[in-house]
Amino acid sequence: MARDTYRLRIEAPELARQVLPGQFFMIRSPGVTNLLLGRPFALYDVWTDASGAPAGIDIAYLVVGKMTGLMATWVPGDRVEVWGPLGNGFPPADCERLLLVAGGIGNTPFPAVAREALGLARYGNRAPQAKLPREAVTFCYGVRSAEYLAGLEDFAALGIDVRLATDDGTRGHKGFVTELVANLLQGTDSRGYRIYCCGPEPMMHAVAKLTARHNIPCWLSLETPMACGFGACFSCVTKVKQPSGEWDYRRTCVEGPIFHAEQLAL
Amino acid sequence: MPARLRFVAPSGYGRYDECVPTLQVELNRLTLANPILVASGTFGYAREMQAFVPFERLGGIIPKTVTPRDRRGNPPPRTVETASGLLNSIGLDNDGLDAFIEKHLSYLLGLGTKIIANIAGHDRDEFVQMAERLGKCQGLAGLELNISCPNVSGGVDFGTDPKKTSAVVSGVRAACELPILAKLTPNVTDISEIAQAAAEAGADAVSLVNTFSGMAVDWRRRRPILGNNVGGLSGPAIKPMVLKIVWHVARTVRVPIVAVGGISSIDDVMEFLVAGASAVQIGTANFYNPTLAGRLVEELEAALATAGYASVREIVGTLQANS
């Protein structure tokens, strides 16, 4: 899809029928113990067969470690272990303007989110939603350098407003994606806006601060080290505000990975 | 009743039913329908595993450790994968005994399998008070005493000292009628000494073992990877060490052994049974192979039948040392 970035297509109709945008799967190489645990990957999108029925799932990943390095060597026909769909997913885009903000490989949940918001696809057993017009959906996407921009053709095909940023200025705005978001919100009436965000933690912190200042509801997709993905191991915790005003560690895999920014004790 | 595999009768067996091996095992006062248990801290409170495991097939479930009061647990990262293993320092993150009894216990007791509550206290009195309360909960099958958690201060102190082990076990034994498993730490010079103390103080069995102390380092950042700096190692990496411990204790102490450490296949189960364990716990494998525990019971029947054994009991401790 881009430098060190690949799409993995898994044939799994049952998973494809159930999954919601923003949910994830654990993927594991069968029969090995040198890569013992599964690794979590967000849904990129569902793919359909010739009749239009959900046939499987696409995962987009950046090669960063042992598991993703191994995955890049997989060839069609290989068998993998997958369990899911896991986590809560993004809520339906019940808003007038939807702003999707991605940093790095954090673009992965957004093709499905955008297609659902535009009314181009339905996921799981969710009721059909009010469709947003194309011009009401903006995708702000920042990466280190232009060669890492992945899946641009998928976003372009949706006809939504795509705004790019690169750290080195090789494409789009030179600088952080958060600056794109700040510029976009500058002086606009932000009523009816909603933001969905996925990327490195410092970037999500910055977006959460911005949206608090503009009073825009914001949901973040967290990535925390995870051993099982289904709530048994208590590894993937993050600080979540409690009714008492205190915080407590909560499992990202079952209570997230999507949290309203205000829930988090950042 | 769960479906049972049927096997072609070996010659000499007249009736078909006779060749289904007996899986029941006795750990002194605790009788299990089969020796496949799931280990504390790797199975949540069972709800998390509902989609993966037919609970009624298991010999029993040991839910996550409960402490007298709620604990936030350790700062993340709490787990990191190492070579064929998992290093963790969760830090006994739990909502405390009241919440365990209110939120989880009635669900657990309705699952059609034995529930063995795993408890940890800071001192002997806390263990005793928890045992008194849980002893009054109808339907609980037993208690496993976590005197070996490497990730909390005080946790491992009991399990490294035979006198303290003895004090906790005898205190719990006097405080309730429930069968007792003492879960021991491998991070000692001679574990049989601790196992002996637990047995003499009234433990019905010993669970061998909790995790091995360890750490992982990110040298580029000059930082330990775990938020708690150090943790406990589990998974296939530790299985050879646990086999040796089980074999050693089985030959030196008269106490039933529940083996736990890296078990991830039916062959692993059989190895531990012949080495002297009467039952086993599936732990880390629940995270990456969540349907395993539910499948092992049938595989155990098949393995016993193929080896020509009519019961689990017959095969326990049959390992013979090379002379």
Give SS3 for B244. helix
- Kindly report, residue by residue over B220-256, the tens digit of the pLDDT: 999 999 999 999 999 999 999 999 999 999 999 999 9
Q: Which domain holds residue B30?
A: 19-307
CATH number at residue B178: 3.20.20.70
Select the residue of A224, A232, A238 nearest B42 (Cβ to Cβ). Answer: A232
Helix (H, G, I), strand (E, B) or coil at B163: helix
At B250 the three-state DSSP class reads helix
pLDDT (0 to 100) of residue B20: 85
Residue B314 inside a domain? The answer is no
CB spacing of B79 vs A28 below 8 angstroms = no
Q: What is the per-residue burial (b if ≥16 Cβ within 10 Å, else e) of A170-205?
A: ebbbeebbbebbeebbeeeebeebbbbbbbeeebbe
Distance CA B234, CA B183 (A): 14
| Best residue of B65, B71, B79, B228 to probe chain A, by most A CBs closer than 10 Å | B79
B73/A237 Cβ within 8 A: yes
CATH number for the domain whose boundaries are A5-86: 2.40.30.10
Shortest CA gap A63–chain B (Å): 18
- Residue B148, pLDDT > 90, answer no
pLDDT reported for residue B41: 97
Please count the structural domains in chain B: 1
Please determine, for the modelled complex, whether the ipTM score is greater than 0.90. Answer: yes
Q: B144 lies in a domain?
A: yes
Whole-number pLDDT of residue B174: 98
Looking at the domain assignment, is residue B3 inside a domain? Answer: no
Q: Do A234 and B73 touch (CB under 8 A)?
A: yes
Backbone angles phi, psi at A56, to 5 degrees: 180, -175
Write down the pLDDT at residue A158: 97
* H or E element, residue B20: none
Query: Band of the pLDDT at B153, cuts 50, 70, 90?
Result: low
* Residue among A26, A29, A36, A246 with most chain B CBs within 10 A, to mutate: A36
Chain B residues whose beta carbon lies within 8 Å of the beta carbon of residue A233: 41-42, 44, 79, 88, 90, 287
Per-residue pLDDT band for B152 (boundaries 50, 70, 90) equals low
Q: Which residue has the higher pLDDT, A159 or B157?
A: A159
pLDDT of the residue at B43: 98
- Please give the pLDDT value at position B4: 46
Handedness of CA A239, A241, A244, A245 (dihedral sign): positive
Question: Facing residues of A231 across strands?
Answer: none
What pLDDT was estimated at residue B16? 43
Residue B154: predicted pLDDT: 60
Which 3 state secondary structure label does DSSP give B34? coil
Q: Which of B166, B147, B143, B144 is nearest to B155 (CA)?
A: B147
CB contacts of B66 in chain A (<8 Å) are none
**CATH topology for the A97-263 domain:** Rossmann fold (3.40.50)
Q: Are strands B142-146 and B79-82 parallel, antiparallel or unpaired?
A: unpaired
Residue B36 has pLDDT above 80, yes or no: yes
Tell me whether residue B133 is in a domain: yes
Which letter, b or e, does each residue of A74-113 get, where b requires 16 or more Cβ atoms within 10 Å of its Cβ?
eeeeeeeebbbbbbbbbbbbebebbbbbbbbbbbbbbbbb
3-state secondary structure chain A: CECCEEEEEEECHHHHHHCCCCCEEEEECCCCCCCCCCEEEECCEEEECCCCCEEEEEEEEECCCHHHHHHCCCCCCCCCEEEEEECCCCCCCCCCEEEEEEEHHHHCCHHHHHHHHCCCCCCCCCCCCCCCCHHHEEEEEEECCHHHCCCHHHHHHHCCEEEEEECCCCCCEECCHHHHHHHHHCCCCCCCEEEEEECCHHHHHHHHHHHHHHCCCEEEECCCCCCCCCCCCCCCEEEEECCCCCEEEEEHHHHCCEEEHHHECC
pLDDT at A31: 83
- The average pLDDT across A210-233 equals 96
Neighbours of B132 (CB within 10 A): 14
Q: Is residue B196 situated within a structural domain?
A: yes
Smallest CA-to-CA distance from B273 within B35, B109, B16 is with B35
Residues A126-142 have a mean pLDDT of: 93
Is pLDDT at A239 greater than 90 in this prediction? yes
- Tell me whether B67 touches chain A (CB under 8 Å): no
- B93 pLDDT above the threshold of 70: yes
Q: pLDDT at residue B35 above 70? A: yes
Token pair 């364990």 in the structure block, residue = B277
Q: What is the pTM of this model?
A: 0.94
Task: Give B-chain residues touching A232 at CB under 8 angstroms.
Answer: 42-44, 48-49, 286-287, 290
Which segment of A114-123, A167-176, B126-135, B141-150 scores lowest on mean pLDDT?
B141-150
- Which chain A residue has the Cα nearest residue B83? A34
Which of A37, A228, A237 shows the shortest C-beta gap to B93?
A237
Distances in whole angstroms, Cα of residue A36 to Cα of each of A254, B49, B75, B113: 21, 19, 23, 29
Chain A CB contacts of B76 below 8 Å: 224-225, 235-238, 249
Q: Tell me the nearest-neighbour CA distance from A201 into chain B, angstroms.
A: 14
What CA–CA distance (Å, rounded) separates A54 from A48?
4
Give me the active site residues of B, please.
149
Indicate if the pLDDT at residue B6 is higher than 50.
Answer: no
Domains of chain A, by residue range, sit at: 5-86, 97-263
Q: How confident is the model at residue A76 (pLDDT cuts 50, 70, 90)?
A: very high
Contact B216, B81 (CB under 8 A): no
CB B288 within 8 A of CB A28: yes
How many whole angstroms separate alpha carbon A76 and alpha carbon A10? 9
Partner residue facing B81 (CB), from A36, A232, A248: A36
- Residues in B 96-155 with any Cβ partner in A closer than 8 A: none
> What is the mean predicted confidence (pLDDT) over A35-59?
97
Do A5-86 and A97-263 share a fold? Answer: no
Taking the CA of residue B158 and the nearest CA in chain A, the distance in Å comes to: 24
| Cross-chain Cβ contact B287/A228 below 8 Å | yes
Whether residue B1 lies inside any domain: the answer is: no
Q: Which residue has the tokens 């039933």?
A: B256
Q: Mean pLDDT in chain A? A: 96
Q: Quote the longest CA-to-CA distance of chain B.
A: 69
Closest CA in chain B for residue A84: B51
- In chain B the first and final C-alpha atoms are separated, in Å, by 45
Distance from CA of A266 to the nearest CA of B (A): 14
- Tell me how close the Cα of B45 comes to any Cα of chain A, in angstroms: 8
Going by pLDDT thresholds of 50, 70 and 90, the confidence category of residue A128 is confident
Determine the distance in angstroms separating the CA of A8 from the nearest CA of chain B, rounded to an integer: 20
**Nearest residue, CB atoms, A232 vs list B49, B72, B73:** B49
The reported pLDDT for the residue numbered B7 is 47
A vs B: CB pairs below 8 A: 91
Residue that has been written with the tokens 């390095």 in this structure = A69
> What tens digit of pLDDT does each residue of B59-75 get?
999 999 999 999 999 99
Report phi then psi at A178, rounded to 5. Answer: -65, -30
For the CA atoms of B317, B318, B322, B323, the dihedral, rounded to the nearest 10 degrees, stands at 90
Locus of tokens 């309705």: B110
pLDDT tens for each residue of B182-221: 999 999 999 999 999 999 999 999 999 999 999 999 999 9
